[in-house]
């Protein structure tokens, strides 16, 4: 069973999550020959203040 974990800074809409899951599932099914029922995807929405790049915390886009 393919397991995919996607982390994003901030929030995604339900439609965005649905489209991402469909696209990732399609690629895995095509390239790995797995059935869609076998693909498990987790989306973690992480607050910008909990992510650092180059030693500085990210700030949300304005």
Per-residue pLDDT band at 55 (split at 50, 70, 90)? very high
Domains, the chain, with CATH or none? 3-57 (3.30.429.10)
First vs last C-alpha separation in the chain: 39
DSSP-derived secondary structure letter, 11: -
CB 44 within 8 A of CB 20: no
Per-residue pLDDT band at 31 (split at 50, 70, 90)? very high
Instruction: Compute the mean pLDDT over every residue in the chain, rounded to the nearest whole number.
Output: 96
β-strand pairing of 52-53 with 56-57: antiparallel
Nearby residues of 6 by Cβ (< 8 Å), 6 or more positions away: 20, 24, 41, 42, 43, 44
């Amino acid at each position: 069973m393919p397991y995919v974990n996607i982390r994003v800074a901030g929030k995604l809409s339900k439609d965005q999550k649905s489209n991402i899951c469909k696209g990732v599932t399609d690629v895995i099914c095509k390239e790995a020959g797995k059935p869609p029922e076998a693909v498990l995807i987790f989306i973690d929405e992480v607050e910008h203040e909990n992510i650092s790049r180059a030693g500085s915390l990210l700030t949300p886009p304005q």
